Amino acid sequence: MITVSLCMIVKNEERILKRCLDTVADLVDEIVIVDTGSADRTKEIAAEYTKNIYDFTWTGDFSAARNFAFSKCTKEYIYTADADEVIDEENRQRFLDLKEVLLPEIEIVQMKYGNQLQFSTIYNFDEEYRPKLYKRLREFVWEYPIHEAVRLEPVVYDSDVVITHLPEALHTGRDIAAFEKMVKDGEYLDKKLCGLYARELFVSGSEEEVCRAREYFKLVIEEEGRTPGEQMEAFCVVVRASRLAGDAAEFYKYAMRAAASDEEIPAEICYELGCFYQGQGDLPEAAMWFYNALHETESILDKRCGGELAEEGLRSCQ
For residue range 197-206, list pLDDT tens digits in order: 999 999 889 9
Sheet holding 108-114, edge to edge: 53-55, 30-35, 4-10, 77-80, 127-135, 108-114, 156-165, 85-86
> What is the average per-residue pLDDT within 180-187?
93
Q: What is the pTM of this model?
A: 0.76
Q: Residue 292: which of 277, 276, 270 has the closest Cα?
A: 270
Handedness of CA 54, 55, 59, 62 (dihedral sign): positive
- Name the phi and psi angles at 110, rounded to 5: -95, 140
Predicted confidence (pLDDT) per residue in 209-235, tens digit? 999 999 999 999 999 999 999 999 999
Predicted confidence (pLDDT) per residue in 265-288, tens digit? 999 999 999 999 999 999 999 999
**Model pLDDT, residue 248:** 96
Name the pairing type of β-strands 108-114 and 85-86. Answer: unpaired
Poorest-pLDDT segment among 121-135, 217-231, 256-270? 121-135
Distance between CA atoms of 180 and 106, rounded to whole angstroms? Answer: 37
Residue 119 has pLDDT above 60, yes or no: no
Distance between CA atoms of 87 and 212, rounded to whole angstroms? Answer: 39
Residue 137 has pLDDT above 70, yes or no: yes
- Identify whether the C-beta of residue 279 lies closer than 8 Å to the C-beta of residue 306: no
> What is the average per-residue pLDDT within 76-98?
96
> What is the average per-residue pLDDT within 248-263?
94
Residue 170 has pLDDT above 80, yes or no: no
**Model pLDDT, residue 232:** 96
Largest separation between any pair of C-alpha atoms in the chain: 69
What structural domains and CATH numbers belong to the chain? 4-165 (3.90.550.10), 172-316 (1.25.40)
Residue 2 has pLDDT above 90, yes or no: yes
Distance between CA atoms of 79 and 99, rounded to whole angstroms? Answer: 11
